[in-house]
Amino acid sequence: MTDVILEKIGKTYPNGYHAIPSVDLSIEEGEFIVLVGPSGCGKSTLLRMVAGLESISDGELRIRGERMNEKEPAERDIAMVFQNYALYPHMTVYNNMAYGLKNRKVSKEVIEKKVTDVAEMLGLTDLLQRKPGQLSGGQRQRVAMGRAMVRDPKVFLFDEPLSNLDAKLRVQMRVEIRQLQRKLGTTTLYVTHDQVEAMTLADRLVVLNKGNAEQIGTPMDLYNKPATPFVASFIGSPSMNLLPANLVEQGIKISNSLTLPLPHDYRGGVVWGIRPEHLEVSDEQNADFALRIQAVESLGAETLIHGLLEEESKKGIPMVVRLSGPHLPELNSLMWLTAPVKHWHLFDEITQQRL
């Protein structure tokens, strides 16, 4: 069943700034949708429009078939977890979680039962009488989630909830959020700028760029078949190697001396891309191109090699290669690489669309 529908949703600020031109998205019940994009792409604005904290200028928002545009945040049956948690500092953890229920005139016994249940689920039972100021970052994060969960809303909204945590805690909470969401089966809309978070959490991802949804799909769809160079470079770390090129008779011409063979009937400017993990080391005869090594990042399980293309000193386009296991090539030495055709990504230079 479709749970949340965004139909041609747009946002124009009173000063005329067109933050979001038009976004279409339909979310299935229980689905975990992640809105991802660089800062300023409109992802938080979109989330806040769903929450009712920002007005909707164009289009329609429906939750369970009901139009929500004019409804107050409280009437939309949503719960939101804020980036800074927005816990009420003068209330205990218990009261923070109970506040929304009290406002909805839920009876005391029911409130107590719900709060203790959720607190138990989140491991907050011993902290119920504390104030937010006495909690660690991770605990506050949990309380913020608990506050959202006790109300048992139709939709969870998360606005970069993990960005204030340290790296280790972030990974831990990420896993926990995913498990909780699966367990509760609540439709979730999650905003982040971190593509790793996005890939690991999402059932489906929405990549936003300048207020436009560049691509909507499962993490693997986006990784394997990015629709635009923007998505290609945004999803995956390190990002995809992208080179301007021309499609010619014999194949794809990257520079005067380098033409990769590919039979194709398209002629014209393209953006050619390959992921760092898909480049293969080869010998000089079979190589598609040579890379002058500039820097080596050894991460133990894998090695990232940064280099510049050695092409008649034409441009020196940077390229990254990802190899599994430890490697220690010498700096400034040459590395011979092949780029298997099946891993190529081609985009039209003008329309920026995948070919």
Partner 1 sequence: MTVTFPQKGLPWLLLLPQLLVTAIFFLWPAEQALEQAFYQEDAFGLSREFVGFENFIDLFTDPLYYQSMLTTLFFSFSVAILGISVALLLAVMADRVIRGKLAYQTLLIWPYAVAPALAGVLWWILFDPSMGPIALWLNSAGVDWNHYLNGNQAMILVVIASTWKQISYNFLFFLAGLQAVPRSLIEAASIDGASPFKRFWTIVFPLLSPTTFFLLVVNLVYAFFETFGVIDATTKGGPGQSTNTLVYKVFEDGFVGLDLGGSAAQSVVLMGIVGLMTVIQFRFIERKVQYS
Q: Does 253 bind partner 1 (CB under 8 A)?
A: no
Question: How many chain residues bind partner 1 (CB under 8 A)?
Answer: 25
Of 71 and 204, which CB lies nearer to partner 1 in the complex structure?
Answer: 71
- Least separation in angstroms between residue 157's CB and partner 1 is 9
C-alpha 59/C-alpha 49 separation (Å) is 11
Of 74 and 331, which CB lies nearer to partner 1 in the complex structure?
Answer: 74
As to burial, measured by CB atoms within 10 angstroms (0-12 exposed, 13-18 middle, 19+ buried), residue 176 is middle
Is residue 270 within 8 A of residue 349, CB to CB? The reply is: yes
**DSSP assignment string, 243-295:** EEEEEETTEEEEETTEEEE---S--EEEEEEE-GGG-EE--TTT-SEEEEEEE
String marking each residue 320-349 x if it binds partner 1 according to CB under 8 A: ------------------------------
Structure tokens at 258: 């380098």
Instruction: Scan residues 33-92 and list those touching partner 1 (CB under 8 A).
Output: 51-53, 72-74, 78-80, 82-84, 86-90
Q: Check whether the bond before 261 is cis (ω within 30° of 0).
A: no
- Least separation in angstroms between residue 74's CB and partner 1 is 4
Amino acid at 115: V
Structure tokens at 193: 């700028």
- Least separation in angstroms between residue 345's CB and partner 1 is 40
Query: Of these, 2, 55, 103, 179, which contacts partner 1 (CB under 8 A)?
Result: 103
Q: Does 133 bind partner 1 (CB under 8 A)?
A: yes
- Least separation in angstroms between residue 2's CB and partner 1 is 23
- Least separation in angstroms between residue 79's CB and partner 1 is 7
Query: Of these, 114, 147, 322, 345, which contacts partner 1 (CB under 8 A)?
Result: 147
C-alpha 239/C-alpha 339 separation (Å) is 16
Of 19 and 87, which CB lies nearer to partner 1 in the complex structure?
Answer: 87
- Residue for token pair 């009290």: 102
Q: Does 145 bind partner 1 (CB under 8 A)?
A: no
Q: How many CA atoms lie within 13 A of 308 on its CB side?
A: 11
Dihedral sign for Cα 334, 335, 341, 342, please.
negative
Q: Does 257 bind partner 1 (CB under 8 A)?
A: no
Q: Does 317 bind partner 1 (CB under 8 A)?
A: no
* Contact positions vs partner 1 (CB under 8 A): 51-53, 72-74, 78-80, 82-84, 86-90, 99-100, 103-104, 132-133, 147, 151
